[in-house]
Structure 1
Amino acid sequence: MTSAATTLKGQPLDRPALDSMLRRRMFYTPSFEIYGGVAGLYDYGPPGCSLQANIIDVWRKHFVLEEDMLEVDCSVLTPHDVLKTSGHVDKFADWMCKDPKNGEILRADHFVEEVLETRLKGDKEARGQKIEEKEEDPKKKKRKGKGAVEAVKLDDAVVQEYEEILAKIDNYNGQELGELIKKYDLKNAATGVQPSPPVAFNLMFQTAIGPSSNTPGYLRPETAQGQFLNFAKLLEYNQQQMPFASASIGRSYRNEISPRAGLLRVREFLMAEIEHFVDPQGGKKHPRFEEVKDVELVLLNRETQLSGKTHVEKVSIGKAVANGTVDNETLGYFLARIHLFLKKIGVDQSKIRFRQHMANEMAHYAADCWDAELFTSYGWVECVGCADRSAYDLSVHAAKTGAPLIVRERLPEPITIEEYQVELDKKKFGPHFKKDGKAVEAALLATTQCDREELSKTLESADSITVKVEGVGNGEVTVPKELITVAKRKRTENVREFTPNVIEPSFGIGRILYALMEHCYWSRASEGGDEARGVLSFPPTVSPTKVLIVPLSSNEEFRPFCRKLSQKLRKMGISSRIDDSSATIGKRYSRNDELGTPLGITIDFQTVKDQTITLRDRDSTKQVRADEDKIIEAIQAMVDGSKSWKDIEAELPVFSGQEVELPTRE
């Protein structure tokens, strides 16, 4: 098991202190709080909104701009038929069980984890082993006040069984989770009762579109489907050029069974998703893979997990693709780009790993999938998923609607193809099937060559064939022999048609934002030394406010300088705040260190004399002094990421003066 998350000073993270600070400074707050709140719903305050907007801005530049992606903004309301076709209506579910005594609803995999981890803790206590204080994973979070750890020694074989189960918990289906609950007699700590067998619970919010409620629909659980449905238009916009990628940023909704862990498990959240459409022929190569092949990632593959272990391997993405750990170059390219993005926004590089999905936890559409997981005080948390969705989505939507969601590529030399073709008597076919004609035709045209060979043989001796057509009658339709011909034909092709495969990086912005706040949080003594003051060491590129402007005192001579500097910075697109309160300058800086403001300008009497100002670094509290133009130039360089504080300190004269010395970041 992983050790506890720590502050930047090497101390255990004080999560209650961090949460208190984040809510006090209004990074986020429970929605509808004065009405008692609703679990899993949160509002962002001014600094939270700004931090989120800055993360999205970096994301757009890193992916949409640099990769020349096509951004779309699609509807949240989604008709039932779309999500039925995509598989979400039938398969987008988690396993839940119910305590028969108090009616509490439990997510089955989280329940199993919680009880087994509690028993392992009790075993360690009974053996007199030191228990590492590990905060709870959101999947494994222990509910407060529901029983203390009991010191009970377990057999070594049982301990090994428990550890192996926990290592591959995401691979169990509902039946297997139910068997684990019975086999190990797992009981709810609140009641001492074993919960009912797990049942599937669909996570989508259902609604009705229109006043007559004739059009059932859902709030989208992801932004991906809108991108797939617009594929043909995007391909045309891109002048038929492949490969290409679309991107979308927007709200998604999932009716979580038991949301806990603050921003990490919520019912409404912001997603940023990419759909990279690639030709499956040629091994899914990526033209820019050479640029990232030496990027090293920490990988936890599925074989390791299935063996009951959680050992990781640090390896270059080039090597991981070459040895088959990562399936193809395009998937590997995006894993590396995800890693570089997380590094750019300030994620602690010692607290990131990429975990491969096991078979049963794999999304219904995925051929391979890796999660970028970030370590927090709640444990390892999935923040980015990167899936190879193969050709699933485009294929099923094309089969359902008859829309040609394909790519046509002109061949350098014509080729002759012999294949079974379906030919319909259109004059009779339409009147015979009436309103169902389009669906039946689409089902026939979607048949494979093997299907058509069987249909051809059937028609030789029968008067009709039967074909499966979803949504028509009982799902099967009889087609009379006189309406259809299925025969082998030769044709010359000048154009190759194919359905693209899709590589999808999917980012949970709220989870990334929270993990970043934990990774950037530390504390130091306040000005008086009687209490610790929180500091959020956000990189200047994503910090909510970039510059704090502080007049040394309330002297009227300082005001024009403050206003002029603030206006100049804002015109450059650099956010700033003026704090001219009566508090000491040290306290004013400390208050803004809690907001993550990386830079501070002090206006003093020397400024009035020679127009020079000081620039303070949040983390070291060191200062430099120069004229206004040089200081603004330094701020601009730090905000755009081209220079660090060390660079500025080497270029400009060091200054020591007004501020009371504070302990610095180690």
Structure 2
Amino acid sequence: MSSVNKTAHPFDKARLEALLNRRFFYAKAFEIYGGISGLYDYGPPGSSLQANIIAEWRKHFIVEEGMLELDTTILTPAPVFETSGHVARFADWMVKDTVTGDVLRADHLVGGVLEARLAGHKEAKGLAANPPAQDDKDKKKRKKQAKAAPVLLSDEIVAEYESTLAQLDNYSGPELGELCRKYDIRNPDTSNVVSEPVQFNLMFASSIGPTGQHPGYLRPETAQGHFLNFARLLDFNNGRVPFASAQVGRSFRNEISPRAGLLRVREFTMAEIEHFVDPEDKSHVRFGEIKDVKLRLLDRHVQVSGRTDLTEISAGEAVARGIVANETLAYFLVRIYTFLLKIGIDPARLRFRQHMANEMAHYAADCWDAEIQGSNGWTECVGCADRAAYDLTVHSEKTGTPLVVRTALKDPIVTEKETAEFDKKSLGKTFGKDTALVQEIVNALDEAGLLKLKGELAQGSATVERDGKSFTLTPALLTIERKTFKQSIREFTPNVIEPSFGLGRILYLLLEHTFWSREQDVERGVLSLPPLVAPTKVLIVPLSAREEFDPLVLEVSAKLRKAGVFSRVDDSNTSIGKRYARNDELGTPFGITLDFASVQNRTMTLRERDTTDQLIGPIDEVIATVTELVQGSIDWPEAARRLPRYDGVQAVAE
């Protein structure tokens, strides 16, 4: 889309949320029953916007990267999450208001209170520099204002608050409790003291079967479905790695206190990728294509030092300097970055933050979050983790199913090593029930231990010990020989690089980034959504409701449908300006006007949403042009070179 000055009026969150509610982008679920926090229904424009984001996600990742798509179940037996560690560790720290019993998430409480105090400090500094005019007639009012006025903080306290906020994700539960006591952090709604933090598991428990004989959970992520199907995926990919599987689906997390609209919900749509890679080779075949792309990174060392300075660095340099662990991880960071920009996220309000030690998921070796800045601050929208071999290893150990890759070696590996050979019949007669223990002791010896034992046996006997028991071995029971082994197959458990997208968060922040108001019509907002994701691509506006317009409206609608362009007709009685304005609210990028000249001359105008510029041309030429605009093969300046500018005089009078 063409550039436009959107700075005439500052961002107004209340006005955006009023628009989203009025135009039914989304609304609280079960609203007529009072609603439940953290559950939302999407209306027509919100559903279309999400579907378009998902369609581009599938194209950008699944199609362009040749991924294997899955659709796995939401209901999951409890043993799966017991094995994965979610039952024990998938939790947040919560505190309770000691008077009302209200539950709050501890890290959000600490962060929110400290940020509010810093904001008040800045406001107080501004008031001190520019005090309001005094009004002696209203001393009571001035006293009340002074009592509620924001408080100036010392430079030392400001520095402490900023350092604490920079490291907030790294604090444990007890440390968050200590911060509440140190800074007298209370429930902001009641001013009551809060309890010590306790862990709360975020999974929704369920049961499977009529008698509940199979305890289960609603999945908090889609990832486990990938890991449990790994053997089938590997077979489908002809036994080769690297490869990636991908899935879009619903997940559920029983959030402690969801209070930020779509940013923190209990049911949401995720898009996840599991890229399986050889642990000894985490290079990426396409890394050369993206190595020069620059990213804005906030690494763990900067955060631990209490700062939030960003480093702008190319992906190639980030890997070379060890800031990002490997090529595959860096490759996906860039692909995440280009996807978010493509759908309309402002690059100036996008960063990648590395997880610190305490916040790292139990399975992760390294993790970066794509965070998007909005009115609520920086919000994690995409996590990109190196899960190492954790998941496949624990599920394999639990089930006895080998979740491994076997590859033929080009050059077989020949090794020599000392090998213990038991005479099992004699061993059993000699040691009885301790036979297995003796074998375990010997098999646990390394090369040096076996050589030592071999030397002792050569002298007639050797003694091994464990748990206070001593066993004498002779050459009749055990021989140790040096043998040659030829390995033609390499077997390994692959590592996993996982990009995980919270689509609802991305959708909401995209709406914030693209919302603005025209100088001449502040009350009506505009959503400058890219045509790629806009719910409706083209608005068809017939200037009159007379019957002679009907065939033309049907013809234009049919031709746009045939071209794969989603359009809507607005033939209401309101003025053309109001019709365009209310569709600017919906983010519709282009408008076609059919007037009396269209009926007589088969011409029509084409309007661009952000600039309101209009072009004119024959119907088929305008349809061809707008189709290319929607597909992204041309931009508005190119369209203006193809079609003449509309000056308002082409319409033929009635």
Q: TM-score, normalised by structure 1?
A: 0.84
Task: Give the residue type in structure 2 aligned to 1:518.
Answer: E
1:117-196 to 2 correspondences below 5 Å: 117-128=115-126, 151-196=150-195
Q: Which residue of 2 aligns with 1:249?
A: 248
Task: Give the residue type in structure 2 aligned to 1:506.
Answer: S
1:18 counterpart SS class: helix
Which deviates more from structure 2 when the two are superposed, residues 216-225 or residues 613-622? 613-622
Task: Give the residue type in structure 1 aligned to 2:646.
Answer: F
Q: Is the 8 A contact 2:9 2:519 kept in 1?
A: no
**Which of 346, 359, 363 is the aligned partner of 2:357?**
359
State the alpha-carbon separation in 1 of the partners of residues 65 and 369 from structure 2.
21
1:240-279 to 2 correspondences below 5 Å: 240-279=239-278
Q: 1:28 to 1:190 in 2, by over 3 A?
A: closer
Q: Which residue of 1 aligns with 2:209?
A: 210
State the alpha-carbon separation in 2 of the partners of residues 51 and 192 from structure 1.
40
Q: 1:577 to 1:130 in 2, by over 3 A?
A: farther
User: Are 2:504 and 1:513 aligned?
Assistant: no
Q: Which residue of 1 aligns with 2:595?
A: 604
Q: Which residue of 2 aligns with 1:19?
A: 17
1:66 counterpart SS class: helix
**Which of 53, 65, 86 is the aligned partner of 1:55?**
53
Q: Cα distance, 1:421 vs. partner?
A: 9.4
Number of residues paired by the alignment? 600
Q: 1:463 to 1:382 in 2, by over 3 A?
A: closer
State the alpha-carbon separation in 2 of the partners of residues 109 and 511 from structure 1.
19
Q: Is the 8 A contact 1:122 1:149 kept in 2?
A: no
Q: 1:535 to 1:151 in 2, by over 3 A?
A: closer
Q: Is the 8 A contact 1:8 1:520 kept in 2?
A: no
Q: Cα distance, 1:130 vs. partner?
A: 7.9
Q: 1:232 to 1:378 in 2, by over 3 A?
A: same
Q: Is the 8 A contact 1:352 1:372 kept in 2?
A: yes
Task: Give the residue type in structure 1 aligned to 2:239.
Answer: Q
Q: TM-score, normalised by structure 2?
A: 0.86
Give per-residue Cα distances to partners, 1:423-443, cap 9 Å, x unaligned: 9999xxxxxxxxxxxxxxxxx
Q: 1:535 to 1:123 in 2, by over 3 A?
A: closer
1:345-384 to 2 correspondences below 5 Å: 345-384=343-382
Q: 1:507 to 1:464 in 2, by over 3 A?
A: farther
Q: Which residue of 1 aligns with 2:550?
A: 559
Q: 1:119 to 1:653 in 2, by over 3 A?
A: closer
**Which of 638, 643, 647 is the aligned partner of 2:638?**
647
1:398-417 to 2 correspondences below 5 Å: 398-417=396-415
Consecutive unaligned residues of structure 1, counting only runs of 5 or more, are 1-5, 132-146, 427-443, 466-484, 661-666
**Which of 490, 499, 502 is the aligned partner of 2:496?**
502
Q: Which residue of 2 aligns with 1:493?
A: 487
2:65 counterpart SS class: coil
Q: Cα distance, 1:388 vs. partner?
A: 0.7
State the alpha-carbon separation in 2 of the partners of residues 448 and 347 from structure 1.
56
Task: Give the residue type in structure 1 aligned to 2:395.
Answer: H
1:613 counterpart SS class: strand
State the alpha-carbon separation in 2 of the partners of residues 565 and 594 from structure 1.
23
Task: Give the residue type in structure 2 aligned to 1:281.
Answer: E
- Report % sequence identity: 58
1:258-407 to 2 correspondences below 5 Å: 258-282=257-281, 284-407=282-405
Task: Give the residue type in structure 2 aligned to 1:60.
Answer: R
Q: 1:601 to 1:191 in 2, by over 3 A?
A: closer
Q: Cα distance, 1:487 vs. partner?
A: 11
Q: Cα distance, 1:260 vs. partner?
A: 1.1
Q: 1:659 to 1:261 in 2, by over 3 A?
A: farther
Structure label with greater radius of gyration:
2
Task: Give the residue type in structure 2 aligned to 1:363.
Answer: A
State the alpha-carbon separation in 1 of the partners of residues 159 and 89 from structure 2.
32
User: Are 2:235 and 1:227 aligned?
Assistant: no
Q: Is the 8 A contact 2:597 2:650 kept in 1?
A: no
Q: Which residue of 1 aligns with 2:37?
A: 39
Q: Is the 8 A contact 1:7 1:522 kept in 2?
A: no
1:374 counterpart SS class: strand
State the alpha-carbon separation in 1 of the partners of residues 197 and 349 from structure 2.
33
Q: 1:149 to 1:368 in 2, by over 3 A?
A: farther
Q: Which residue of 1 aligns with 2:648?
A: 657
Q: Is the 8 A contact 1:124 1:130 kept in 2?
A: no
Give per-residue Cα distances to partners, 1:391-442, cap 9 Å, x unaligned: 111111111111111111100111134679999999xxxxxxxxxxxxxxxx
State the alpha-carbon separation in 1 of the partners of residues 421 and 535 from structure 2.
63
Q: Which residue of 1 aligns with 2:434?
A: none
1:541 counterpart SS class: coil
Task: Give the residue type in structure 1 aligned to 2:12.
Answer: D
1:619 counterpart SS class: coil
Give per-residue Cα distances to partners, 1:137-172, cap 9 Å, x unaligned: xxxxxxxxxx99654443432222221111110000
User: Are 2:580 and 1:589 aligned?
Assistant: yes
Q: Which residue of 1 aligns with 2:429?
A: none
Q: 1:67 to 1:149 in 2, by over 3 A?
A: farther
Which deviates more from structure 2 when the two are superposed, residues 161-170 or residues 565-574? 565-574
**Which of 65, 70, 73 is the aligned partner of 1:72?**
70
Q: CA RMSD in A?
A: 3.2
1:471-486 to 2 correspondences below 5 Å: none
State the alpha-carbon separation in 2 of the partners of residues 396 and 325 from structure 1.
28
Consecutive unaligned residues of structure 2, counting only runs of 5 or more, are 130-145, 425-439, 454-461, 470-478
Q: Cα distance, 1:198 vs. partner?
A: 0.3
Q: Cα distance, 1:74 vs. partner?
A: 0.3
Q: Cα distance, 1:623 vs. partner?
A: 1.2
2:632 counterpart SS class: coil
2:639 counterpart SS class: helix
1:311 counterpart SS class: coil
1:614 counterpart SS class: strand
State the alpha-carbon separation in 1 of the partners of residues 50 and 279 from structure 2.
35
Q: 1:449 to 1:595 in 2, by over 3 A?
A: farther
Q: Cα distance, 1:236 vs. partner?
A: 0.6
**Which of 504, 508, 516 is the aligned partner of 1:522?**
516
Give per-residue Cα distances to partners, 1:439-474, cap 9 Å, x unaligned: xxxxx9xx99989x99x9999445999xxxxxxxxx
Q: 1:148 to 1:302 in 2, by over 3 A?
A: farther
2:206 counterpart SS class: strand
Q: Is the 8 A contact 2:8 2:519 kept in 1?
A: no
Q: Is the 8 A contact 2:6 2:518 kept in 1?
A: no
State the alpha-carbon separation in 1 of the partners of residues 416 and 217 from structure 2.
44
Q: 1:490 to 1:404 in 2, by over 3 A?
A: farther
